[in-house]
Amino acid sequence: MLLAAVFFFPVLAAGQEPAPSSGAPAGSGSNGQSSPNTGTSSSTSKKREIPSFLIIGTVFNERDFSFPGVQVRVRRSGEKKFRWETYTNSQGEFAVRVPPGYEYEVVTHVKKYKDQDQPVDSKVDVQKRLSIKLEPQDQDKNGGKA
């Protein structure tokens, strides 16, 4: 009798719905049965992280010294509004992460210097390194002669 129960019990257990695996939750219908995958799995409900494009660079003054505290703004080409803004650190370096697949314009601004703009194409690579040399606004104040 015990032997019959051992062989009979696995048959009953096989008729039951298996426990959902820890990887993907099983959907349940109104009758307790598994519903087919309708495209609403856990992988689509989570936001998939988009890889970002990195714009890094160093800003220098007219004497080739690194320039801390320079405002660096980034916008998509053809747009007027800047979407990203940062400042150079104590070594004149900056880094901005932007979505890939667009063309951008990087504009540096600091008082008494001309604004510099650099085009960046994020369609080709995963990062772009810039080296920006600023020029003083009053460079030709005396007609270029000292």
Report the distance separating Cα 27 and Cα 32, nearest Å: 9
Structural domains counted in the chain: 1
Residue 69 near residue 110, CB atoms below 8 Å: yes
Residue 3 included in any domain: no
Residue 46 included in any domain: no
Looking at per-residue pLDDT, the higher value among 128 and 32 belongs to 128
Q: Give the domain CATH number at 108.
A: 2.60.40.10
Residue 117 included in any domain: yes
Residue 127 included in any domain: yes
Give the CA-trace dihedral at 5, 10, 11, 16, to 10 degrees: 130
Residue 74 included in any domain: yes
What's the domain range around 100?
53-133
Query: Structure pTM?
Result: 0.61
Residue 18 included in any domain: no
Residue 102 included in any domain: yes
Q: What is the pLDDT of residue 124?
A: 87
Residue 76 included in any domain: yes
Q: What is the pLDDT of residues 57-101, one digit of tens each?
A: 999 999 999 999 999 999 999 999 999 999 999 999 999 999 999
Confidence of residue 138 (pLDDT cuts 50, 70, 90): confident
Max avg pLDDT among 19-33, 110-124, 128-142: 110-124
Q: What is the pLDDT of residues 114-134, one digit of tens each?
A: 999 999 999 988 999 999 999
